[in-house]
Structures are given as structure tokens and as C-alpha cells.
Amino acid sequence: MPKEQIVTFLTDFGTADGYVASMKGVLLSMAPGVRLVDLTHEIAMSDILAGAFVLNQAIDYFPPGTIHLAVIDPGVGTDRRILAARYARQIVIAPDNGLLTLLDQRLGLEGLVSVRNESYFLASRIGRTFDGRDIMAPVAAALATGTRLEQLGPTPESYKLLDLPAARAEGSTIIGHVLHVDRFGNCVTNISRSMIEQVTRTLGRVEVVIGQRSIGPLHGTFSHVPVGEALALLDSIDLLEIAVNGGRASDRLQLRVGDEVQVRYSRAEAVVAREKALPPQGVVTTPTPAPVVKIQPEALPIPAVKIQPPPPPVVTVLPLEPVSILTVLPPMAPPAPPAPKKQPPAPAPVDTKRPAAPAPVEKKQPAPPPAEKKQPAAPVEKKQPPAPAPAVKVPAEDDLILSEDDIRLFEQGQSPDDDLLPPIQLD
């Protein structure tokens, strides 16, 4: 399988505009098939030291032959030079403004040229404000397709490096400075693991101090201290770092790039107790599991939870359609026989052989629908009960005194008081 050519990008352009895309477009047009990798485009505007730090942080993890295109160029369009330098068998293309400082201090320079051969520049160059697109991207494409470093231009007599104070030892104390503040607020210094080991002979018997404040001994990781507490540790590139577990050390401790940090040799037992938490360089250890601590219930306040009642069901009431209601009345039972009480003076005529007519029942009309104008109820034909047959006038119980002849006439259908009445046929 042929080796894949990698080209990385490091800029302060951000990603909101088309600057990065323009550079990639030029490179892919001139060197199709290369693999493009973004280191970052979020370096603060013109922050050369931050760009130098990220470049130094990442370069060790790319294969030999990788080409790095670093464009943090506040001097674009001036007479500043563009350099192509070789470190760790990789090539870095960058303006001559100090972006190579940390690589140069740590890795050592293997080759350097000043890019002068305009035959490798973009032919349609417009203006003098975008050398990343017009010069650096075409030069990276030329290197990716086989151009040798020496073909790009001559070797300069000098090149610019940032004036950074180096960490130094004074007896058993190391004096260094904050070199970088990352997005988590961790403050990375220029004090390395190797320097601590060389000066103090141990990692476990040291104390980290910032100004008049002691940060304490070195810890293995953030969780070795309670949340919110400051600590010192060796970071992922073996530099001393000041951090706050769950917080921002730069804010809590008011640290900025350039602030002084000291590492002192100490015999304090509290410092010695931390020695086992710091494995020697290159040794992988398995962390000891943390002891199980039984927490009493009162130590765990239960947050109040407000339970919302379920919403009431939505009931939709539909208007009723007017319908005709037929009321079927049950047959009325015959009235109970009157109690043996004193009859009123004028009782209603009663046919002793016919049942009394049922009492009238009130018929309820259905409620009209809400949306319609109430119409008057249709007249209901009320059936009249049949006319009662002529009844025999029966005198009141208190006034009626009959003889045997009267009773016999009464049983024959004749009234003892009215001989003119026609006889009544009894069933």
C-alpha cells in the first residue's frame, strides 16, 4: 500500500469564513489525493505563542514525512520571510515570526530554507494579504508531490525565535513560568518532568508554590483532590500543570501566561505520602481502587421533587340534535279503595262498575339545542276521558235511612225518592 501524504493546518482564521476552505482548495487542486488534517483554527488572533505551543504539542504524534502548514501571520504582506523547516523528519511551513520557537528548543533543527522560488507560488495571486493561500498552500502541494526542501529557496543565516525565559534551577528550587492556558483554564508551565527529576532526584518530595501560595505536592490526576481544590500534576506532554478539579485554575488563582511558578524540594510527610501516586516516566501502572466509603443517609440531601398532577381529561360536549321523544306511559293501577272515613258532603259521581280514569301525567319536553332558537312546543292533543255514565245519587252516610221496601226498590234499579227514573240495569 503506498504511503499516504498528510498535510495539517494550524491557523487563527476560525471557521466562520472561507479562508481555510480556500487554502484547502488550492492544495487539493495541485496535489489531489493528499489527506488533510486540521490541528486547530481556534488560536486567538495573532497569538504566536499559542500557535507555537499547539504545534509543539501535536507534532510528535504524526508520522515522518507529514507536512504542517502553520498560518498565524500578523505581518502578512511585509518583508517578513516564509520558512520551510524540518523537525523530527517532518516539514513545517510558517512565517518567520517565532512559530518555530518551542519546536526548535525541544527537537532541534534538521533543515531550513527561506521560500523564495516563485515558480511554486500561485500564478493567479491577488494582492498581498493572503500568503497562506497564494504561497504557503502551493508550496505544501509541491512538497507533497515530491519537490525537495532545497528547491524552495536558500538557507537563511538566521531566523526569529520568541524571547521566552527558560526554566532554571536555584539550589533545590526550580523557577519556571506559565507557558499556556488551555480552554479548561489549566495553566501549563515550562517546567518538565525531566528537570524536576534532575534537580530534586524525586517526584514525590516536591512542593509547588505560586507566589506566597502553596499548591501542594504533585498528584497523579485531577480526581486525587476534592472538587474545587487546586492541584499540581504532570500533563499529557510531561510538563508541570496547575489545575483546579472541576474548575478553572486561571480564574481561581488569577494566573496568566508569564506568571512565575516554583517547584521546591520538601521533606514534609504530606508530600512523601504522594510519592506512590506518581509513576516513573515510561511505566504504566494500574491504579489502586478507591476505598468504599459508606455514606450515611443524612449526608445525602434528597432534592425536593414537585410532582405535577396529571392534566384533567378534556371532555368535549357536543350539542344535542333535536329528536322526537315518544313517552310510553305504563298502565295505571286502579286506585286503592277509600279508607272508611267520613265522606265529604259533595263527592264526585262514581260509577261503581267502571275504573276511575287515570290521572293526567305531565309530559316533559326535551331541552332544545343550545345553538338554536327555542321553538314553542307543538300542541299535544289531549284525549278527553269518556263521559261517565249517569250515576245514582247516593245520599250521605249520615243522612241515609232506608226501609226494607227502599232497599228492594234500590236493588231493582229504582230510587225510593224518584219513581219517575227509568230502571237501571245492573250487570
Residue 136, pLDDT score: 97
CATH 2.40.30.90 maps onto the chain at 168-277
Write the CA distances from 269 to 20, 229, 275, 404, integer angstroms. Answer: 54, 20, 10, 143
Residue-wise pLDDT tens digits, 16-31: 999 999 999 999 999 9
Residue 266, pLDDT score: 79
Terminal Cα-to-Cα distance of the chain (whole angstroms): 130
Rounded Cα distance between 53 and 204, Å, is: 27
Q: Read off the DSSP letter of residue 276.
A: G
Question: Which positions ≥6 away from 107 have C-beta within 8 Å?
Answer: 59, 87, 88
Q: 357 near 349, Cβ under 8 Å?
A: no
CATH 3.40.50.10790 maps onto the chain at 6-152
CA-CA-CA-CA torsion sign (101, 103, 105, 109): negative
Q: 84 near 92, Cβ under 8 Å?
A: yes
pLDDT at 33 over 50: yes
Rounded Cα distance between 93 and 133, Å, is: 12
Question: Above pLDDT 90, what percent of the chain?
Answer: 56
Rounded Cα distance between 237 and 198, Å, is: 17
Give the phi and the psi of residue 32 in degrees, each rounded to 5.
-60, 145
Strand ranges, E, within 199-270: 206-210, 213-216, 218-219, 230-234, 239-244, 260-265
Q: Write down the pTM of the prediction.
A: 0.63
CATH number of 6-152: 3.40.50.10790
Q: Class assignment of domain 168-277? A: mainly beta
Residue 287, pLDDT score: 37
Q: Name which of 231-245, 298-312, 392-406 the model is least confident about.
A: 298-312
Residue-wise pLDDT tens digits, 207-245: 999 999 999 999 999 999 999 999 999 999 999 999 999
Q: Which residue is listed with cell 499559542?
A: 50
Mean pLDDT calculated for residue range 324-330: 46
Q: Which residue is listed with cell 527529576?
A: 197
| Phi-psi category of residue 46: left, alpha or beta, with phi > 0 → left and psi -120 to 50 → alpha | left
